A and B are shown apart, each in its own frame.
Chain A
Amino acid sequence: MRGRPAWLWILLVIAAVGTVPLLIADAFFLRLFTEALMWIGLAITWDLMAGYIGYLNFGHGVFFGVGAYTAALLITKGGWPFWPALALGGLAAGLVALVSGWPTLRLRGAYFAIGTWALNRAVGQVALVLDFTGGPDGMRLPPFLHPQFFAYVMLGVVGATFLILWLLLEQAPFGLKLKAIREDESGSLAIGLNPAWLKLQAFVLSAVPTGILGGVYAYWITFIDPSSTLGDLITDQAVVMAIFGGLGTLIGPVIGAVLFFSFKTYFWAYLSDYQVLYLIILGLAIAATVFFLPDGFWGTVANRWEGRRALRKGLSLGQAAGT
């Protein structure tokens, strides 16, 4: 990768992925393509909290749902056009993260996981009992049937998110600071970092793209209800994708999302009679990954790779010294 900057490679990959909707115009395929991109976005934003800071956010779906409902309300009730509604959806999710994160992020470890889980269920209940959200009946949006448009919007949002997260987490010192919190929160405070402020920044950073994804989803699917946007399944699937791919990297969740989404599609296509079976597989996949591959798919591959390279380097050094 030396010689050519890595961001160029990322842009090239995004552009290459962008040619796919041009080549294959099949509506069903485009739908899968768009949804796969959405899950990539959800998995990497979840991993920002879980993998980089070590805070398991079991309420990630809140941001998705808040973004979806905000955009949907603005479009249907306010008559707003799509783009500003989308931006405001992201903003609303960021605001929720700011307000809820300010106190909850003081909670460590398991408390944070439980607190966010409770938040998710509480927000889901609010959407169920309120009138203007349509309660359990959900909301319908004006249909805009243009699969390629949504494929590109999703690609743009997810690609931009990936690039921004990559710059911030892998290039800027921000990522190292977050990892310092993950390794030892009190220690990071001792060396002069401000964990509370950094965590809040990261929390908002993970919320805004998720809210935008929710807004795109609402306009794309044209129907949202509490269970599809605020249900446990949003968070659950993002969790399994990120963990299966490998926490603490950006590429891991992407791989996990693609692999798991392919499996999910295959499952729904051939075994849709056994819907609840999906829950079992989802659960067992999470448990088995934690048990057998605690570093995730990508982490395990990368470790082996590193090990082999280090071994080869060591051998050649040894030979040089020996002769």
Chain B
Amino acid sequence: MLALLPQAIIDGVLLGGIYLTVAMGFSLAFGVLHIIDFAVGEWIMLGAFIGLIFTKWLGVDALLSLPVVFVIFAVVGWLLQPLLHRVLSGSRGRPVLMGLVFTFGLALAFRGSALTVFGIFTHSLDTVLSQGSWHLDWGPFFLTVPLIRLAGLVYALAVILGFNYLLKRTDFGLAVRAVAQNKEAAGLMGVDVNRTSAAVYGLYVGISAMTGVFIGAIVSLNAGMGPDLSIFAFFVVVLAGMGYLAGVPWAAFLLGLIQSFFLIYFNPSHVLLALFSILYLILLISPTGMFRKGV
């Protein structure tokens, strides 16, 4: 059993990297727009399917669909954000909750559409990296690292670095941080709050959809996978503390590790159950996340 330990850790870290990208976008959207997006798993699922269509249609490698998926979904998010804004700034007492209900409705509609169009079957995305893997033997221990998972980690790091650059080094990032801190004041300083918000939402939707392509290539994709992925995203963001970006990587890697340990050492059909229980306990003990720095 111990021989499998490095494998479990590596698998967990590589998987965690994938969740990290979704959780980053999700956390950013929450920080800037104060939106809790129930449809996050559905964006991932739809992104994976658009990638699949693109790959099948042109007969090219799935990795080449990444920029296409990003652009399509960034535009969709950009166009959707004004609707969300109207719901969130409504006259009704609790706009945040109305926003939650709104995205909940969107999630159902997306899932239903995907089930209608793509059916209930599980597909997988093929890339040149799908078959290759690295083997390492070291005494009693051994390690298999599929190249596509490694590519996922590289992608995750690229997204994180890109985020970091965008938020810390550009005017746009300055505007985003200003809006996150104080909407009115940012508006008074000449920041176009509506455009910044729409761009953030577009960025978040685009990245989530792009990650969907990786999840489709690493694991699999089917039209009903949205809710579980939404739970994963919530798990990471809540664990890190809502809106606390620095906590996100730790939470994401923890999620990946929990998942891979359950897959290797316990019953894989209990993975979700374990995650739900942990999420639940965490929410009970510390609603502001494991660093107690959330909102």
Contacts and interface: CB of A to CB of B under 8 A. Distances in A.
**Is this pair of chains taken from one and the same complex?**
yes
B116 A114 contact: no
B98 to A, nearest CB: 5
B95 to A, nearest CB: 9
Contacts of B105: 240, 282-290
A243 B101 CA distance: 9
B273 A126 contact: yes
A125 B273 contact: yes
B155 to A, nearest CB: 27
B92 interface: yes
A122 B273 CA distance: 5
Contact of B97 (A54, A106, A118, A183): A54
Describe A's contact surface by its main secondary structure.
helix
A54 B94 contact: yes
A107 B295 CA distance: 11
Contacts of A258: none
Interface string A209-247: 000000000000000000000001000100110010000
Contacts of B83: 291
A14 B134 CA distance: 71
B115 A276 contact: yes
Contact of A294 (B90, B111, B113): B90
A103 B284 contact: yes
A284 B109 contact: yes
Contacts, number: 132
Interface in B257-295: 269-270, 272-273, 276-277, 279-280, 283-284, 287
Nearest to B39: A283
Interface residues of B, number: 43
Q: Interface range on chain A: under 10, 10 to 19, 20 to 34, or 35 or more?
A: 35 or more
Interface string A36-77: 000000000000000000101010000000000000000000
A129 B273 contact: yes
Interface in A152-191: 182-183
Scoring A114, A126, A232, A239 by chain B CB atoms within 10 A of each residue's CB, the highest score goes to: A114
B91 interface: yes
B108 interface: yes
Contacts of B115: 276, 279
Among B97, B270, B284, the most chain A Cβ lie within 10 Å of the Cβ of B97
Contact of A295 (B92, B113, B283): B92
A118 B231 contact: yes
Contacts of B276: 118-119, 121-122, 125
Contacts of A232: 227
A177 B277 CA distance: 32
A121 B284 contact: no
12 contacts: A54-B94, A56-B101, A109-B97, A114-B238, A115-B284, A118-B279, A125-B272, A239-B104, A277-B116, A290-B102, A291-B83, A294-B92
Given A236-B108, A290-B87, A294-B92, 8 more contacts: A58-B104, A110-B100, A122-B280, A126-B273, A274-B116, A280-B116, A290-B102, A294-B90
- Which 3 pairs show the lowest CB-CB distances between chains A and B? A283-B108, A279-B112, A286-B105
